[in-house]
Each structure stands twice: as structure tokens, then as C-alpha cells.
Amino acid sequence: MAKIVECIPNFSEGRNAETLQALVAVAQSVPGAALLDWSADASHNRSVFTLAGAPEAVAEAAFQLCKLAAELIDLRTHTGEHPRMGATDVIPFVPIREMDMKECIALAETLAERVSGELAIPVFLYESAARNTQRQNLSTVRKGQFEGMAKKMLSPDWAPDFGEAAPHPSAGVTAIGARMPLIAFNINLDTDNIEVANAIAKSIRGSSGGYKHCKAMGVTLAERNIVQVSMNMVNFEGTPLYRVFEAVRFEAARWGVRILGSEIVGLTPVKALADSAAYYLQLEDFEYGAQVLEQRF
């Protein structure tokens, strides 16, 4: 079966159509790497590209995008609502098929070496690729943003993992990393009481003592007159979908509230669904790699 990696580079450009089209053209130019999706946000002045395919091809496309972004985007004149420190701000690699996290970390390191060496852009490794716990969290790494990076990088704590301890004059600094796929999973409740959704969200999210790999908050769906527990599942193997679904069910029961349904927004790896099926169908000794037909290619 062919290896597939996903890569989601974020660029500090969400307004200039010409620049965006040039990035799209490069993203589509490497055989073996597919551009699955891209979107730009004018108020954030930022764009997000989703590439996937063969690891070497995807890494090559990411490098070419980085190179073009350094030519076309100048952080010295960049304004927008979203925090940023580089023309190419972040590049996460995500294992999808026949890949483990270690291979994604190796891809991130190889790309970091090339970006710093060939483009003179210093790189921080973040999330699973981070070399110390301080650099795991992207917002900690990016704190100070482009304008504060020159000073920040002089501190021994913030020497980059690759490249010189000074930002590229116009292209700044790039964070390159590896992480698990993120699943946007929302559960709808048969109540319009946002306090119920907030209380359930608090009970299940890792940051307030719940499941480690779940981020959650309550959200009102005004058009349906209901509330929702809106989640980002940042590691579906560590915290499976069925587990938070059942936890939301028993927490909601405290208020006599039922689950109406759930939704996955955007993409999910199919294994996240298969793992939940295995729970509910009480499958004994099921071996995903050996028994799922599609895994055999």
C-alpha cells in the first residue's frame, strides 16, 4: 500500500489574488502531490493549503511553496488579525496511510534543513517534531510574532532548530512540525441551554481535566434553536470518537438532555470511524491492518 502524508502549509497572504493563484499553481505542479483544498481569509490575511500524496512529492511541493511565498510575501508590510511570524507561517505534516509519526518528524526535519539552507529562513520544529516541550505548542513558539522574532531569537532558549538565530528580513521564521490528523467533531443536544453545552465541554476537554486529546467548547446553533458541543479531536487514536460521544451522552443525562446527532466537519481518516465501529460492534481480536481489505494494497 502506498504511503500517504498530508501537509497543511499556512501562508501570510489572504488578500492578493495574484499571489494566491501563483501559490495554487505551484501546489498543483508536483506529480504525486495533490492539492485537496485551499482557502484564504481576508481579515486574517492568511491562507491554508491542504496537500496530500507521496511523502517525497508532498515535501517537495511544500518546499516550492515556501520558496515562492518568500519571494512574494513581505512580512514587513503584512497586517491581519491572525498571529504570524513568517511568509510561510507553519507547515505541519500528518500521517495518513502507512506512515507513522516518526516518518513525519523525519520529513519535517529534512524540509527544515532545506528551508534554512536554501532559502535562509530559520525554522522552529513544533508539536510532535519539537525537540523540547516548550516548543510543542505553536502559540508559545509564535509568541512575539514577526516583529518580536529578532529579539526573541537572541535568547538561548529560542535559538532556531535550523538556520541562523535571526529572522529572514522579509520572510521571517517558519514553524515546521508533525501532528496527528485533526477531526472536527460536533455533538448536537436537544436543548437551547448553552450552559449545558459549556458544562459538558468542560467535563470532556483535556485542558480542564477531561480527555487529553480533546478540545471542546459549547456553541449555539441559532437556526436550529439548539446547542452543540464543538470539538477538535487532535489525536483520534489517543482519544477515540466513541469515547467522547459516550461521555457526552452520560454527562448530558444529568440534565435530562439527549444527543440529537453529531457531525464531522471536513475530512476524517477512515480509521477513526472503523475504530468506533469496532467498539460498538464489540469486535474481538480485530486487526485493522490485516483485515481491512483496502489496507492490503
- Residue 4 lies near a second copy (rule: CB under 8 A): yes
- Residue 282 lies near a second copy (rule: CB under 8 A): yes
- Residue 239 lies near a second copy (rule: CB under 8 A): no
| Torsion sign across C-alpha atoms 74, 75, 77, 83 | positive
Residue 78 a catalytic site member? no
- Residue 57 lies near a second copy (rule: CB under 8 A): no
Subset of residues 240 to 259 that bind a second copy, contact rule: CB under 8 A: 241-242, 245, 259
3-state secondary structure of 222: helix
Q: Which of 79, 223, 225, 297 binds a second copy (CB under 8 A)?
A: 297
- Residue 179 C-beta: closest distance to a second copy, Å: 14
Give the burial class of 246: count Cβ atoms within 10 A of its Cβ; 0-12 exposed, 13-18 middle, 19 or more buried: middle
Q: Which of 100, 207, 270, 289 binds a second copy (CB under 8 A)?
A: 270
**Radius of gyration (Cα) for the chain, nearest Å?**
21
**C-alpha–C-alpha distance, residues 132 and 113, integer Å:** 18
Q: 20, 13, 104, 14: which is closest to 58 by C-alpha?
A: 104
3-state secondary structure of 242: helix
- Residue 95 lies near a second copy (rule: CB under 8 A): no
Residues making contact with a second copy (CB under 8 A): 4, 6, 34, 36, 52-53, 96-97, 181, 188, 241-242, 245, 259-264, 266-271, 273-278, 280-286, 291-297
Could you give the residue numbers annotated as active site? 82
